[in-house]
Structure 1
Amino acid sequence: MPEESPLVTSLRAAVDAAPDDLPLRLHLAGLLLDAGRGQDAIAQLAAALQRDPGNAEAQALMARAVAPPAAPAAPPEPDRGAAYDWRRGEDELSGVVPPRFVESRPETETAPENEPRAGEAHLAAHGDDLASPWDVESTALTLADVGGMDEVKARLEAAFLAPLRNPALRRLYGKSLSGGLLMYGPPGCGKTYVARAVAGELGARFLSVSISDVLDMWMGNSERNLHRLFETARRNAPCVLFLDEIDALGAKRSQIRHTGMRTTVNQLLAELDGVDAASDDGVFVLAATNHPWDVDTALRRPGRLDRTLLVLPPDRPAREAILRHHLTDRPVAGIDLAKLAQRTDGFSGADLRHLCESAAERALLDSVRTGEARMIGTADFTAVLAGLRPSTGPWFASARNVAQFANEGGAYDDLLVHLKRKKML
């Protein structure tokens, strides 16, 4: 190990005296990296990221510190004629002009024509990144960007949108904007996207929070974080406060053995009630869960998360829109989106994205193997679908038992209707 320079020694003393001075700590980490002292640099960078997890310079230095050493250059291999010319492949595909999609419609539908469009949002399978903790953002999305989900839209209109747009009628009928909405359903079906669209429809700010943004290992900090969260939403009203994974944050207290978690649920209940009803005017609480049966019953009391919406996998029109979106920038030819949408009944938005990526990967590997670039075709989707099953199956298997044998107060009547329609009972 090389001897430490006087400059590095002085910087260490300065960092110890001012541990929160991030520029000074990052400068020391850079010098340590340059001097070949990788482990010392990693320790300094870890301390910096604990204080500012989003610091770009610290992240870049950490990536450099943990990167494996460069391997010695291998001697060039003889040309075997099998290397794929990517530039030539790009030129080949750029001039291909077959029809990207064919517009024939399937002759039969897998579901009755009068089935409600309980799909997911158009583009819902993007895997949108959630907002950073305490970051209140604006969104341009509206319900017009949501494909299908007519029943969900109608419930949202009655719960939030119509009263907000008609304040005179709201006062006349004594309609309160308090209370919240709980969305539940299989994972990957666009619940977060719908919440963003509601915020855009209201012209409100959007504050998205998950369990990791609230829970803290130190006693009392989780409750303090919850209070600060609601205060942030009130200061930015009108604001849609979206609580993701509410089953983890508001689990049934009867099943919690840790006292700290019980007090966190109690704090959440108090915040939903509000110290003063007027202070919560303009704060709309939306929550999402894949397991509503694990949510504390007190959270679903009137005035809290008292309205429930089932968000199902996308219906056929929504599946077609999602598939079209994920194939827009890919070289495809002759894809019958209507037939493909019909074959993917029960797929979530995330499943459809995975399907498109897998078909593209198959065509890419085939192009590399043959040395000739080709388009993504129907055969690629057929091959992928042969080994792909909807990820929503296990969720419906669990939900069926709850809907049949634990449907207290008719909380899951809409789920029972769907299960009967799909002949899952």
Structure 2
Amino acid sequence: MADESPLISSLRTAVAAAPGDVPLRLHFAELLLSEGRNEEAVAEAAVALQHAPGDAAARALMMRAMGVPSTSTPEPGPAPVQPPVVEKPEAPTQAPAPTEAPAPSDPAPAFDWAAAEQQVQDLVGPRFLEDPQAEGGEGAAGDAAAWDVDAPGAVRLADVGGMEEVRDRLEAAFLAPMRNPELRRLYGKSLRGGLLLYGPPGCGKTFIARAVAGELGANFLTVSLSDVLDMWIGASEKNIHDIFETARRQAPCVVFLDELDALGAKRSRTHHSGLRNVVNQLLTELDGIASGAGNEGVFVLAATNVPWDVDIALRRPGRLDRTLLVLPPDAAAREAILRYHLRERPIEAVDLGKLVKVTEDFSGADLAHLCESAAEAALLDSARSGSVRLITTKDLLGAAKQIKPSTEPWFAAARNVAMFANEGGLYDDLLAYLKRKRKL
């Protein structure tokens, strides 16, 4: 706020950086209360009570901020010794007069917690979200209605920082034919088939898949190995079928097969018949044979770090026949990722240009870890010195020196595949990147 004092502004930043520090939050609330900002003080005290339910200081502060007179509750101790009661003899002609106890002082009104909760319900959300089960208990395994389908999200390809080559390839190979049905019919372009995203871990393959779903205005259904495997014979294959049936009913829908190398591993290397049957069922569903109407409106995306371990039948034309290499973020993408992870942290004069230069080959996950490490260093210094210190470029550069890019082991393994197992040019784009980066 423009009219805030520097002290309150600094404390607001410190509380945002350490939301679980209850004493710091209560100190901030006391300052707000001293300046007459009672509603803000009530909100801060309520958040403190979320982190420390029953905290007496937080309750007392909230009562003062809400204008409720505080009461001094005596500490529990041994009950006072009462003097012996001397019974008076009863009079023969009248009932004994009741002995009147000394009039107690007027009790202070009890704090109305229900009223307090109503006053702050718009400021502070509930601590736990109740998720009552549907009538009849949890959905049984294999029930198509039990699969969670996310509604169309707000993420678009424009939200993917940098990565111009990836976005252009997606537009040409996947999105343009879907957005232009007239041109698609003119050129005889089929919507069959899917897209396989591959590359080093932590480079945003899942985020890109959600962005594609957002561009299409489609629902989003994520599938991993744990969603499919079942101990009962035939149940895993039925799970695969139910997933695709759900997607067909919720069309347009993007089915995202995460970690495809686990879900669709090469059958020649699979010793367990159950996993081989899962791959067989997945092939059937990708062809849309069992549905009768095919997979119209169902768009299949898959992601893997090791495409060379995926069954070759999954990559034949009409299935996952298009591949897209998702590489570590380029300079523009790294700057966007760093800005995102520093947006709510207390920073001071951070030189993003220097950070971008020293984070070559860092994945998105590496950059998030870098920001986390720099924040830890500043937090530790603040705890030791007793005064809040902002995150600086020095903290971020120091964290960058301590972190080794997690993409290096992946490129070491992928280099051999690109050089000696590039059947049919499957990894030409990877080979070109390695040559451009002089990694061969």
Helix, strand or coil at the partner of 1:331: coil
**Structure 1 residue 158 corresponds to structure 2 residue 188:** no
* Alignment check: 8 A CA contact 1:233 1:241 kept: yes
Find the counterpart in structure 2 of residue 135 from structure 1.
148
Find the counterpart in structure 1 of residue 245 from structure 2.
231
1:166 is matched by which residue type in structure 2?
N
The 5 Å alignment of 1:6-25 reads none
Shift, 1:159, TM fit: 2.6
1:180 is matched by which residue type in structure 2?
G
* Alignment check: 8 A CA contact 1:85 1:371 kept: no
275, 296, 310: which one aligns with 1:261: 275
262, 277, 301: which one aligns with 2:316: 301
Helix, strand or coil at the partner of 1:242: strand
Shift, 1:279, TM fit: 2.6
* Alignment check: 8 A CA contact 2:287 2:294 kept: no
Helix, strand or coil at the partner of 1:309: strand
Find the counterpart in structure 2 of residue 147 from structure 1.
161
Find the counterpart in structure 1 of residue 219 from structure 2.
205
254, 262, 266: which one aligns with 1:248: 262
**Structure 1 residue 187 corresponds to structure 2 residue 125:** no
2:158 is matched by which residue type in structure 1?
A
Find the counterpart in structure 1 of residue 299 from structure 2.
284
Indicate the percent of aligned positions where both proteins have the same amino acid.
69
* Alignment check: 8 A CA contact 1:403 1:415 kept: yes
Give me the whole-angstrom Cα distance separating, in 1, the residues matched to 2:330 and 2:379.
30
* Alignment check: 8 A CA contact 2:166 2:326 kept: yes
**Structure 1 residue 218 corresponds to structure 2 residue 156:** no
**Structure 1 residue 368 corresponds to structure 2 residue 374:** no
* Alignment check: 8 A CA contact 1:89 1:373 kept: no
The 5 Å alignment of 1:389-408 reads 389-408=404-423
TM-score (norm 2): 0.66
Give me the whole-angstrom Cα distance separating, in 2, the residues matched to 1:84 and 1:272.
53
Find the counterpart in structure 1 of residue 111 from structure 2.
none
Structure 1: segments with no counterpart, 5+ residues: 1-82, 95-131
TM-score (norm 1): 0.69
Shift, 1:266, TM fit: 0.6
Helix, strand or coil at the partner of 1:225: helix
* Alignment check: 8 A CA contact 1:180 1:306 kept: yes
**Structure 1 residue 196 corresponds to structure 2 residue 210:** yes
Number of aligned residues = 304
1:357 is matched by which residue type in structure 2?
E
Note closer, same or farther for the CA distance 1:360–1:133 as it changes in structure 2 (3 Å cut): farther
Helix, strand or coil at the partner of 1:353: helix
Find the counterpart in structure 1 of residue 431 from structure 2.
416
Note closer, same or farther for the CA distance 1:145–1:84 as it changes in structure 2 (3 Å cut): closer
Note closer, same or farther for the CA distance 1:84–1:235 as it changes in structure 2 (3 Å cut): closer
Give me the whole-angstrom Cα distance separating, in 2, the residues matched to 1:84 and 1:242.
41
Q: Return the structure number with greater relative CO, CA threshold 8 A, min gap 6.
A: 1
Q: Per-residue displacement from partner, 1:290-312 (whole Å, max 9, x unpaired)?
A: 00000000000000000000001
CA RMSD of aligned residues (A): 2.1
**Structure 1 residue 320 corresponds to structure 2 residue 258:** no
Q: Per-residue displacement from partner, 1:158-197 (whole Å, max 9, x unpaired)?
A: 2332112211111111111110000000111110000111
Note closer, same or farther for the CA distance 1:361–1:148 as it changes in structure 2 (3 Å cut): same
Helix, strand or coil at the partner of 2:402: coil
Q: 234-243 or 153-162: which moved more? A: 153-162
Q: Per-residue displacement from partner, 1:326-369 (whole Å, max 9, x unpaired)?
A: 11111111110111011101000010000001000000001111
> Which runs of 4 or more aligned residues in structure 1 lie more than 2 Å from their structure 2 counterparts after TM superposition?
83-91, 276-279
Note closer, same or farther for the CA distance 1:325–1:133 as it changes in structure 2 (3 Å cut): farther
Shift, 1:89, TM fit: 9.3
24, 33, 37: which one aligns with 1:86: 24
Note closer, same or farther for the CA distance 1:235–1:387 as it changes in structure 2 (3 Å cut): same
* Alignment check: 8 A CA contact 1:90 1:373 kept: no
Shift, 1:88, TM fit: 9.8
Larger C-alpha radius of gyration, 1 or 2? 2
**Structure 1 residue 356 corresponds to structure 2 residue 371:** yes
1:151 is matched by which residue type in structure 2?
E
Find the counterpart in structure 2 of residue 13 from structure 1.
none
